[in-house]
Amino acid sequence: MMLEVTDGTFEAEILQSEIPALVDFWAPWCSPCKMVGPIIEQLSTEFAGQVKIAKMNVDQAPMTPTRYGIRGIPTVILFKGGQEVDKIVGAVPKNKFVDLIKKHL
């Protein structure tokens, strides 16, 4: 089950996470986001227990993306210990996300 975070739950779910947390910032109207979405779903299964995987709808939660300077979506950010440690902007192949995660495990 994919975790959905909001401006209200972001700090508790992501910044205070005991394990690294990968957040997919997306919107329903974004075509490239539709390509990345299924990849993020797969990663949530493959890295279950190692990395917390979440999605954040930027239309419903505008404050957090603004705080992290997100101008284009999809943007995927990896947080570790409450800090942004890595980022991918745009639709990229699954192996790029896997490499990003493994680099920080």
In this structure, what are the phi and psi dihedrals at residue 97, rounded to the nearest 5 degrees?
-70, -40
Under 8 Å between Cβ of 57 and 28: yes
Catalytic one of 30, 39, 40, 101? 30
Determine whether 33 is an active site residue: yes
Gap between the Cα atoms of 39 and 105, Å rounded: 19
Active site residue 58: no
Beta-sheet pairing, 83-89 with 75-80: antiparallel
Identify the active-site residue in 21, 23, 33, 91. 33
Catalytic residue positions, numbered: 30, 33
